[in-house]
Structure 1
Amino acid sequence: MVLALVAMVGAYAPQSHASGPTARSAQTTTTLDTTNQAAAAAGFDIKSFACSSKVQEGKPKIFCKAEWVGGKDPFTPKFDVNLTFFNPVLSFWNETRTAEYTFRCLGGREYRVSLSIGDNDGKETPYQARYVICGDL
């Protein structure tokens, strides 16, 4: 019983950033969602998704780029960020199946950016997420 309690407490312990910024990447899929399963089975999926941080015009920003395969245009990229963000800009191109998402961020904070792509047939790619630390000024 004590070991189970220790394991539970460890699972909910906050992560430390004392060692400095580290790159993390997570991919999540919803196994119970038949729409996501059907989309993946049909070859409609996110091919690449990356985010980085840099200072532009004196302000820290996060830049994300994505590319996907399959599906039927027009597409609807759905980016989501876990923290409050400023002035998001979404640009995407149906013909090349690419998207860019940019937003201002608060220096030193870690952001979780998730993405899913919807298509004209109502299919949706499984969600993917990336973690990025906003650059300090």
Structure 2
Amino acid sequence: MSRTKVLAPTALWAAVVLALVAMAGLFAPRSHASAPAAPVAHTAQTAATPGTTTRAAAAPDFDIESFTCSANRTQGGPGQITCKAKWFGGEPNFDPTFQADPGGSNPVTNSSNSARTATFTFGCLRSREYTVTLFISDRNGSKTQTKTVPYIPCGNS
């Protein structure tokens, strides 16, 4: 007769609980207490230069008032998307920065400092949708918030 050892119900229950606790520990997020401490030099450097960033903050009195895009295409011809923007505030000379995603061909940007308007036109592929982003910088280095027009189909509008 074979002798097998059978665990008592209490011992079996304890083994299951210990296995579950061990598995939970493997997947638990690390606490901040177990993370290495930040170097003191880095903390002191950050505290010594509060509020400095590589990008100028947007001025509340300098922002984009309107930004629209439309697509048009002549029968059998290439597609074209035109975006128009108007803004307020800031100090001339302005630098409107448009970016088309996934990119367009032959981009042309025209702007008027006195009217605070800009037009951006580029060629597009008929079967694609485009997203255009815009921000405007002024001569003082101030920038507007970035605005986006998504899902512009290259085709008749």
Pair in the same fold by TM > 0.5:
yes
In the alignment, structure 2 segments of 5+ residues that lack a partner are 1-52
Q: Percent identity?
A: 40
Equivalent of 2:139 in 116, 120, 125: 120
Which stretch shows the higher mean deviation, 108-117 or 56-65?
56-65
Distance 1:60 1:76, change over 3 A: same
Please give the secondary structure, in 1, of the residue aligned with 2:93: coil
Output one character per residue of 1:66-104: Cα deviation in whole Å (capped at 9) or x when no partner: 000000000000001111311001000000000000000
Aligned residues: 102
Higher helix share: 2
- Residue of structure 2 in register with 1:84 after alignment: 103
For 1:72 and 1:56, how far apart are their aligned partners in 2?
A: 39
In the alignment, structure 1 segments of 5+ residues that lack a partner are 1-31
Please give the secondary structure, in 1, of the residue aligned with 2:82: strand
Please give the secondary structure, in 1, of the residue aligned with 2:57: helix
TM-score, scaled to structure 1: 0.69
Structure of greater relative contact order (alpha carbons < 8 Å, 6+ residues apart): 1
Equivalent of 1:46 in 54, 60, 64: 64
- Residue of structure 2 in register with 1:35 after alignment: 56
> C-alpha displacement at 1:35, in angstroms?
2.9
Misfit runs of 4+, over 6 Å: none
CA RMSD of aligned residues (A): 1.9
Higher strand share: 1
